[in-house]
C-alpha cells in the first residue's frame, strides 16, 4: 500500500474569496448545499474524478480523496472581501445565476458571510463604484490591512489553514516591469512608495496572503503573482501560488479541440472567437483597458499547441507576413444574457493538398456554473500542495487555468494542451499519494 507524505487535513480550512459576485456566491452556495446533501458538486474533479494508480495486477482506479488527504467540504469556512457591502445571500440573489429555491435552504449561512471592506483602486476597475472600501492611503497600508483581516478571520473561525482565492474582476493590464516586478525588495519598495502604476490592488492581496502563510490563487488574468518578485515571496514563505484566469468556457474548448487539429496533422489558417456576456464581469470587460488583460490571456492558448516553428506547413499561415495563423478574440457586453455566456468559434482549417474546411462551435454556457467547481478544485488542491510541502508556481494546476503561469524569464513555455495538463494533474496526485507518477507527457 502506498504511503502519502502529505500532512493530514486536520481542522477547519478557511477559504477567503476576493469578490462576492456571481462566481463567488455560486461557488459558496454550491458547497453549502452539497454538504447538506441538497445539491451535487457536478463538474468538480476532486469530488468525481478517478485516477489509475499502479500497473498490471496492481492497477486500481481511485478517487482523489482516496489517494491523498483532501479537506472535506464540511470543514470549509468561507469569508470574502468586496466593494459592495451586501452579504452573500443578497449578492447571490442579485447575481441571478441560481434560482431562489436553490439558495434559500442555506440562506442563514449565506447571510452570515458579510464582505470585509475591499482594498480597491477605481483606476484599475473603472466600471465598479462600490463604497465598501478600505481607507488606505498607500499600497503598503492595503497590505497591512489585508494581513490583519486574514489573521482576524483565522482566529475568529479557529481555522487551521487559509487559502485566498481571487474571484473578483479583471484589472487593467499591468505590464511586467523588471525594475519593480523582478525582485521582492523592489516590489516591497514600490508598495511602500505607493507606486500605483506598477502595484495593482490584487498584488496587495497576494502579498498579504503569502506573508500570512496562505496559498494564493489568481482566478483572473491579472499580472498579480505572475512576476518573479511574487515567486520569490512564495519561495521564502514556502507557499503555493496558482494562476491565471479560470478556464471555463471558450478557452476550455480551445485547449481541448486544438490538440485534435494538431494530432490529426491538419492545418490552421485562422481561429476567430467572440463572446457575449452580461454579468458584472462583462460590464468590467467592456472597458478597453480591462479587456486587454483578458485578451492577452485568451490569445496565449493556441500558440503553444499549434506551433508554426515546429510545423510551418500547417500553422505558418494567416497574416500578411505568412508566418502565423490568424487568431482573434472578442468579448461583447450584452446585459440581457446576464451570466449565460455564449461563445462562437469559427475555425478555418485545411487538409489534403491544402483544401479548406471549417469548424463552427457555438457554446451556450453558464459562466459561474462552470467556474464554481474550478474554484473548489483549485482551493482543495492548493491546500493539498501546501500540506505536501510544495511551494511556488503549481504547474500541475494548469488544467484549471486559462493562461498557466510559467517561468518566462528562462524561456519556459506554458503547457496549454488540455490532455497534457491532465497528465500533469494525475501525476502530481499520484506522487503526493505515494504512488509512481507513471504517465509520460509527450
What's the confidence (pLDDT) of residue 285? 64
pTM to 2 decimals? 0.94
CATH for 250-364, among 3.40.190.10, 1.10.10.10, 3.30.360.10, 1.20.140.10? 3.30.360.10
Superfamily of structural domain 12-246+368-432: NAD(P)-binding Rossmann-like Domain (3.40.50.720)
What's the confidence (pLDDT) of residue 293? 63
Residue pointed to by grid coordinates 501525476: 427
Per-residue pLDDT of the chain (442 residues; tens, 9 = 90+): 677 889 999 999 999 999 999 999 999 999 999 999 999 999 999 999 999 999 999 999 999 999 999 999 999 999 999 999 999 999 999 999 999 999 999 999 999 999 999 999 999 998 888 999 999 999 999 999 999 999 999 999 999 999 999 999 899 999 999 999 999 999 999 999 999 999 999 999 999 999 999 999 999 999 999 999 999 999 999 999 999 999 998 899 999 999 999 999 999 999 999 998 887 776 776 677 776 666 676 567 898 899 998 999 999 865 555 567 999 989 888 888 888 889 999 999 999 999 999 999 999 999 999 999 999 999 999 999 999 999 999 999 999 999 999 999 999 999 999 999 999 999 999 999 999 999 988 7
SS (HEC) of 77-100? EEEEEECCCCCHHHHHHHHCCCCH
Task: Write the CA distances from 63 to 6, 193, 336, integer angstroms.
Answer: 16, 49, 40
Backbone angles phi and psi of 337, in degrees to 5:
-80, -20
The ranges assigned to domains in the chain are: 12-246+368-432, 250-364
Q: Do domains 12-246+368-432 and 250-364 have the same CATH topology?
A: no
Strand order in the sheet with 342-350: 326-333, 267-277, 342-350, 356-364
Amino acid at each position: 500500500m502506498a504511503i502519502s507524505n502529505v500532512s493530514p487535513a486536520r481542522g477547519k480550512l478557511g477559504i477567503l474569496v476576493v469578490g462576492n459576485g456571481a462566481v463567488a456566491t455560486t461557488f459558496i452556495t454550491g458547497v453549502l448545499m452539497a454538504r447538506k446533501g441538497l445539491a451535487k458538486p457536478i463538474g468538480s474533479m476532486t469530488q468525481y474524478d478517478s485516477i489509475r494508480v499502479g500497473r498490471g495486477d496492481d492497477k486500481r482506479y481511485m478517487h482523489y480523496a482516496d489517494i491523498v488527504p483532501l479537506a472535506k467540504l464540511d470543514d470549509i469556512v468561507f469569508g470574502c472581501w468586496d466593494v459592495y457591502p451586501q452579504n452573500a445571500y443578497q449578492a447571490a440573489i442579485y447575481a441571478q445565476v441560481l434560482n431562489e429555491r436553490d439558495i434559500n435552504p442555506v440562506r442563514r449561512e449565506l447571510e452570515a458571510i458579510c464582505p470585509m471592506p475591499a482594498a480597491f483602486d477605481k483606476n484599475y476597475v473603472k466600471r465598479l463604484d462600490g463604497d465598501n472600501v478600505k481607507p488606505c492611503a498607500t499600497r503598503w497600508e492595503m497590505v497591512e490591512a489585508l494581513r490583519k483581516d486574514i489573521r482576524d478571520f483565522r482566529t475568529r473561525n479557529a481555522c487551521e489553514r487559509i487559502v485566498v482565492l481571487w474571484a473578483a474582476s479583471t484589472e487593467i493590464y499591468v505590464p511586467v516591469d523588471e525594475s519593480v516586478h523582478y525582485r521582492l525588495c523592489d516590489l516591497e519598495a514600490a508598495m511602500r512608495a505607493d507606486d500605483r502604476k506598477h502595484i495593482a490592488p490584487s498584488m496587495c492581496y497576494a502579498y498579504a496572503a503569502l506573508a500570512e502563510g496562505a496559498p494564493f490563487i489568481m482566478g483572473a488574468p491579472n499580472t498579480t503573482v505572475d512576476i518573479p518578485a511574487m515567486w520569490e515571496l512564495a519561495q521564502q514563505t514556502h507557499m503555493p501560488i496558482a494562476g491565471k484566469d479560470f478556464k471555463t468556457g471558450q478557452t476550455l474548448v480551445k485547449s481541448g479541440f486544438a490538440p485534435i487539429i494538431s494530432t490529426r496533422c491538419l492545418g490552421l489558417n485562422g481561429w476567430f472567437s467572440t463572446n457575449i456576456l452580461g454579468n458584472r464581469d462583462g460590464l468590467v470587460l467592456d472597458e478597453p483597458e480591462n479587456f486587454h488583460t483578458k485578451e492577452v490571456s485568451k490569445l496565449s492558448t493556441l500558440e503553444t499547441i499549434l506551433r508554426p516553428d515546429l510545423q510551418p506547413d500547417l500553422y505558418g499561415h494567416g497574416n500578411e507576413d505568412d508566418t502565423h495563423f490568424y487568431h482573434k478574440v472578442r468579448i461583447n457586453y450584452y446585459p440581457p444574457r446576464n451570466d449565460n455566456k455564449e461563445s462562437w468559434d469559427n475555425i478555418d482549417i485545411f487538409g489534403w493538398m491544402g483544401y479548406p474546411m471549417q469548424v463552427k462551435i457555438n457554446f451556450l454556457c453558464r459562466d459561474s456554473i462552470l467556474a464554481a467547481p474550478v474554484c473548489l478544485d483549485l482551493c482543495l488542491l492548493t491546500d493539498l500542495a501546501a500540506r505536501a510541502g510544495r511551494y511556488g508556481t503549481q504547474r500541475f494546476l494548469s488544467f484549471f487555468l486559462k493562461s498557466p503561469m510559467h517561468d518566462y524569464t528562462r524561456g519556459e513555455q506554458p503547457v496549454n494542451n488540455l490532455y497534457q495538463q491532465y497528465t500533469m494533474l494525475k501525476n502530481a496526485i499520484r506522487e503526493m499519494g505515494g504512488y509512481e507518477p507513471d504517465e509520460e507527457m509527450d
